[in-house]
């Protein structure tokens, strides 16, 4: 496995780059906007293809690199299902798996620092975001933080992992880089409490000043900007209610870009072709499945995904590949459901 821990000294943020092999797909966790060029350089040097960029939660102390990485690499941007950030193109939930080629992370909902805080378990290591820090825990006094929820997340989820599990947090301000679950249980001063009430009282007593960047970072991270806005301006978007009227027509090919787990959870548009977004480049190249579909005269390609972001990037890529009938369903399956569109169960894998 390829594993890199990168550091932004301004915000004290750790960013993690993960891949199974050189030449393969890569995922980045908690990227910082100012460091995006560094990440992309490393991705090139290690001969990787960045396919997913993930934030453990909405950050208040730095601006996320998710938007810039999406714009530079057309990667999928990922947060938990509670996330209100516009940039997110795929939302995950507790108990699901977040995968790239050769790597699968177990998704753990660990609220408390914020109500959208997640941890990700990768075999012998866990990425704890700001839920569990080295000899500390993330503050719980803003962004819908809740000390009692954090206690549950730490004591009933993270500390149940094997003692030797490596702990990789999103921040450190003292120079520590990694710890273990056993070490934190024994030596983390915030965890030496005997009850949830004692933990809540401890967190209440902290009286921390707000992060310097908070007033800038939170709104910036909520509204990074959507890929689909530009596609709509160019007249290449179809609203969900318009798209419902196109189901079953032979001159329209619906193309589902989501992953199998998302299809199973939310259902599929009847008659749609499944062509996962990470394989888009091969599928729109001459001889690819989508390119073949587009060859029929007058047939429109209608991409869709979860929220309309992956499909907007697919429209751009298809138009660049001269598939000029490509457009997409604005707002994705999320908008489709709200418009009352029909959904099938996907065929078994
Ligand atoms: Fe945070």
What does the pLDDT average to over 309-318?
97
Closest CA to 37 of 11, 59, 19, 15: 15
139-161 pLDDT per residue, tens: 999 889 999 999 999 999 999 99
- How far does residue 55's CA lie from ligand 1's centre (Å)? 10
Query: pTM score, two decimals?
Result: 0.95
Q: By three-state DSSP, how is residue 240 classified?
A: helix
What is the DSSP track for 105-137? EEEEE--SSSTT-EEEEETTEEEEETTEETTEE
- How far does residue 57's CA lie from ligand 1's centre (Å)? 7
- How far does residue 130's CA lie from ligand 1's centre (Å)? 5
Confidence of residue 35 (pLDDT cuts 50, 70, 90): very high
Confidence of residue 212 (pLDDT cuts 50, 70, 90): confident
60-88 pLDDT per residue, tens: 999 999 999 999 999 999 999 999 999 99
> In the numeric block, which tokens belong to residue 201?
């009282």
- How far does residue 143's CA lie from ligand 1's centre (Å)? 9
- How far does residue 61's CA lie from ligand 1's centre (Å)? 7
- How far does residue 15's CA lie from ligand 1's centre (Å)? 13
Closest CA to 4 of 35, 37, 54, 43: 43
> In the numeric block, which tokens belong to residue 190?
């915030």
């Amino acid at each position: 496995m390829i594993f890199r821990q990168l550091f932004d000294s301004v915000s004290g943020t750790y960013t993690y780059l993960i891949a199974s092999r050189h030449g393969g797909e890569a995922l980045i966790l908690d990227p910082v906007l100012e460091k995006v060029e560094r990440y992309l350089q490393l991705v090139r040097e290690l001969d990787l293809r960045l396919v997913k960029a993930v934030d453990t939660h909405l950050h208040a102390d730095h601006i996320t690199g998710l938007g810039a990485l999406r714009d530079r690499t057309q990667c999928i941007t990922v947060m938990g299902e509670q996330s209100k950030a516009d940039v997110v193109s795929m939302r995950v939930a507790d108990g699901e798996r977040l995968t790239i080629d050769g790597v699968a992370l177990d998704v753990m909902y660990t609220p408390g620092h914020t109500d959208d805080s997640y941890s990700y378990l990768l075999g012998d290591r866990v990425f704890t975001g700001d839920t569990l820090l080295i000899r500390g825990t993330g503050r719980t006094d803003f962004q819908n933080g809740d000390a009692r929820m954090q206690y549950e997340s730490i004591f009933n989820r993270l500390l149940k992992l094997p003692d030797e599990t490596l702990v990789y947090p999103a921040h450190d301000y003292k120079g520590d880089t990694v710890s273990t679950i056993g070490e934190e249980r024994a030596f983390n001063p915030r965890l030496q409490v005997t009850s949830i009430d004692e933990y809540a009282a401890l967190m209440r007593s902290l009286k921390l000043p707000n992060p310097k960047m908070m007033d800038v970072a939170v709104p910036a991270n909520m509204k990074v900007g959507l890929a689909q806005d530009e596609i709509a301006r160019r007249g290449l978007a179809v609203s969900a209610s318009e798209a419902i009227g196109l189901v079953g027509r032979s001159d329209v090919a619906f193309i589902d870009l989501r992953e199998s787990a998302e299809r199973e959870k939310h259902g599929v548009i009847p008659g749609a072709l499944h062509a996962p977004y990470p394989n888009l480049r091969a599928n729109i190249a001459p001889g690819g499945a989508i390119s073949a579909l587009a060859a029929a005269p007058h047939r429109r390609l209608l991409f869709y995904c979860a929220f309309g972001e992956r499909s907007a990037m697919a429209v751009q890529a298809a138009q660049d590949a001269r598939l000029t009938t490509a457009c997409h369903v604005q707002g994705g399956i999320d908008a489709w459901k709200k418009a009352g569109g029909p959904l099938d169960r996907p065929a078994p894998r």
